[in-house]
Amino acid sequence: MRRARARLALAAAALAAGVVLAQERAIPPGELKSGSVFLGSDLRALQNDDFANPGMLWVERGERLWSELAGKKTLACASCHKDTSMRGVAASYPKIDKASGKLVNLEDRINLCRTGRMDAEPLRYESEELLALTAYVARQSLGLPIATRIDGAARAHFEAGRAAYHLRRGQMNLSCAHCHDAQWGKRLLSETISQGHPNAYPAYRMEWQTIGSLQRRIRACLSGIRAEMLPYGSPEYLDLELYLAWRAQGLPIETPGVRR
């Protein structure tokens, strides 16, 4: 316990100095494994099947929504983002929104564009439209490594996210780290515990029989350990998303992933 505390203090000091030590990573970069590695061959094949991957239904819908006019200014996403590809964009989220100084994820960014530039209503979290647009944008970063920044204003969010990740919660008194750092690769009933990476989201889960956001997946974990689920868009989820992205730094984006 004392040693753990000392290690935390050391880590905090290193962070304050602007250095993230390699040994702070519970899973070294060379051992990072996407959730698809822990799937059966059928679901892995389904994810890689550009046609039959059911998540592609939402990607296609997102593509249509991209050029659909909305809001008082009757603009579409495509009105501003004319010939510019969104390739690489998803790999950098969550990130600090320059205008507000707040940490935002890809969903928030899409809604900031709607409210700020298009004068349109924000899309409800986990709505079909927001999932479709998010999946469409993220799909364009297929194969690109996650490359989120945790310096500057993002640092405090990273710290909060790391604390959230290691916080014991719920009736089972487990933190994220207990499963996804310490026990990954081992069996939990019929399943193999994954490393808990965000690189396939929004993903199509067989459990949901639909596509869902990373926050929905986090909520599923919280429900699994019988912990309180916070509402969608809670700052704690965003901080956690940033920490998860940092943990998965370098893993290629697979959106829309297929998961159990």
Q: Which residues bind other proteins (CB under 8 A)?
A: 39-40, 42-43, 46, 51-52, 54, 56-57, 60-61, 188-191, 206-210, 212, 216-217, 219-226, 229, 260
Nearer to other proteins, 158 or 204 (CB): 204
* In the complex, minimum distance from the CB of residue 67 to other proteins, in angstroms, rounded to a whole number: 16
Which one is catalytic: 77, 80, 179, 221?
221
Please state at what angle helix 154-166 crosses helix 235-247, rounded to 10 degrees. Answer: 90
Question: Minimum Å distance from CB 15 to other proteins?
Answer: 31
Q: Which is nearer to other proteins, 153 or 229 (CB)?
A: 229
CB 217, min distance to other proteins, A: 7
Q: In terms of CB distance, is 85 or 190 closer to other proteins? A: 190
Between residues 58 and 93, which has the closer beta carbon with respect to other proteins?
58
CA 96 to the chain's CA centroid = 15
Shortest approach of other proteins to residue 51 CB, angstroms?
5
**Active site (annotated) includes residue 221:** yes
| Residues acting as catalytic residues | 221
